[in-house]
Amino acid sequence: MTDRELMQYAVEARKKSYSPYSNFRVGAALLSKNGKVYTGCNIENAAYTPTNCAERTAIFKAVSEGEREFTAIAIVGGKGEEPADFCAPCGVCRQVLAEFCNGDFRLVLGTPENIQTFTFAEILPYSFGKSDLH
Ligand code: THU
């Protein structure tokens, strides 16, 4: 699976975004260690706070299907139809990813025309995680 292919899954997932309040549409595609892709979109709510980000939709789908090991996530976001903007995961999603992803987990961000990659260690240094609780 290339970064470009994973991003294409995120582009397709973004088409399912339910975002009538912000009109900010996000799609995510999470790659498991065994090569399966789990997609997600943001799902907004009239009460606002129950809104779920695309990344968390994807990771909750995957974990609920028995997956716990992941290698990469692609994220595309922006207002309107075209995924025009660079969209980095929010702090809550970073913390949820931290539960299941190592420092070398990769993030595939940007747009299909301008892909930028990061490691999880780069976007969430000094994270709080399960090792802190023993
Ligand atoms: N959103 C995501 O789905 N992922 C992100 O990384 C950033 C924000 C969603 C939440 C909300 O539906 C909309 O984008 C505007 O914040």
Note the pLDDT of residue 25. 97
The residues lining ligand 1, judged by C-beta closer than 6 Å to any ligand atom, are: 19, 22, 24, 26, 42, 44, 51, 53-55, 77, 87, 89-90, 93
Q: What type of residue sits at position 68?
A: R
55 assigned to active site: yes
Write down the pTM of the prediction: 0.96
Determine which residue's CA is closest to atom 10 belonging to ligand 1: 53
Note the pLDDT of residue 15. 96
Q: At 70, which helix (H) or strand (E)?
A: strand 70-79
Look at 22-36, 81-95, 114-128 and tell me which has the smallest mean pLDDT: 81-95
Catalytic hit among 5, 44, 55, 65:
55
User: Rounded CA gap, 83 and 85, in Å?
Assistant: 6
Tokens of 110: 């940007």
Cβ(66)–Cβ(104) below 8 Å: no
Q: What type of residue sits at position 72?
A: A
For residue 130, how far is the Cα from the chain centroid?
21
